[in-house]
Chain A
Amino acid sequence: MPFIVAFLFAYILWLVLTAGSNGLLWSTEELVAGLVFAAIVGYATKDVVGENSTRFLNPVKWVTAIAYAPVLFWGMVKANLDVAYRVITGKIRPGIVRVPVELENDAQYTIMSNSITLTPGTLTIEASPEEKALYVHWINIPKGLERPESSKPVAGPFEKWARRLGR
């Protein structure tokens, strides 16, 4: 079944790229060519996308992803302003902290790490599923938080969202 995931993923991108070939919609030949090429790409990459990628076909997950977009965007806005403040004032206390996380699979680690890296001031430098921890470079470690107990002070609500999105 991973063929279906890769095929749909590829076909949707093809439709996005060729939109407008017939008015605002797609001409028949583009649709057919897209089917052929998406089938080839899906067949070639069915082992790459992985056996358990079919869980991302669940529409509940897409709604969750759309709901996550403003959360991530708002986090980025806040953190960018914070970094601008630190650039002007120079008040930094950098260091690398080990953040214990409660995540189960690779997709959750990826979503979590990318969210942490996208919000400036924090940068994931290593995700270690074996010891259930992330190593994060933090621009301004508050006093007493050198060994955080959870990901709350580093990443805010991102761990909860990553667990939900990648389940």
Chain B
Amino acid sequence: MNDGDMGVIVRTMARATIPLIGIFGAYVVMHGHLTPGGGFQGGTTIAGAGILFLIAFGLGEMKKRYNKNLYSALEGLGGLVFLGAAMLGIGVAFFYNTLWHNGPFFNGKPGTLLSAGYLPIMNLAVGLKVFTGLVSALTAIALWRRWKE
């Protein structure tokens, strides 16, 4: 066992399950307008995969993979995309769903994947923001290494 990671069984099972948790979270985010779930729920699901990586492989491995600037930039990007989708129909009103009423895409039959106007874009943006934000927050907490002063 290396420093700070779990045993061989937990590590191997984490190798197998992290891609599955990731794709399930992406499914929840992308089908937010069709099935229960959405940006926040899917984002926390994917963040769960990141936290599983942190716990199973230990902080040393996480430090090598985690890029603070990338995660910070992606979190900002998620917020900006949400705002951009909200501004699309500013000619009528803020949050006016112009993609649904007369947009070139995302205006399919209700119940299909490419419907509901800006909702899939906003779900993706919120999912990205929640995932990067939660992983950043928990990595920062894990990096706090003094138990007491």
Contact = CB atoms under 8 A, between A and B. Distances in A.
B15 A127 contact: no
Contacts of B11: 106
Contacts of B137: none
Interface stretch (A32-40, A64-72, A92-100, A146-154): A32-40
B19 A45 contact: yes
B110 interface: no
A29 B106 CA distance: 11
Contacts of A27: 112-113
Interface string A100-114: 000000110110011
Interface residues of B, number: 25
A47 interface: yes
Contacts of A6: 19
Interface in A76-98: none
Contacts of B108: 29
B12 interface: yes
Range, interface on chain A = 35 or more
Interface of A: 6, 9-11, 13-14, 17-18, 21, 27, 29-30, 33, 37-38, 40-42, 44-45, 47-50, 53, 106-107, 109-110, 113-114, 124, 126-127, 129
Interface of B: 7-9, 11-16, 18-20, 22-24, 26-27, 30-31, 53, 65, 108, 112-114
Given A49-B16, A106-B8, A110-B9, 20 more contacts: A10-B22, A10-B23, A11-B23, A13-B20, A14-B26, A18-B27, A29-B112, A29-B114, A30-B113, A37-B23, A37-B26, A37-B27, A40-B26, A41-B23, A45-B18, A45-B22, A50-B15, A109-B12, A110-B12, A124-B9
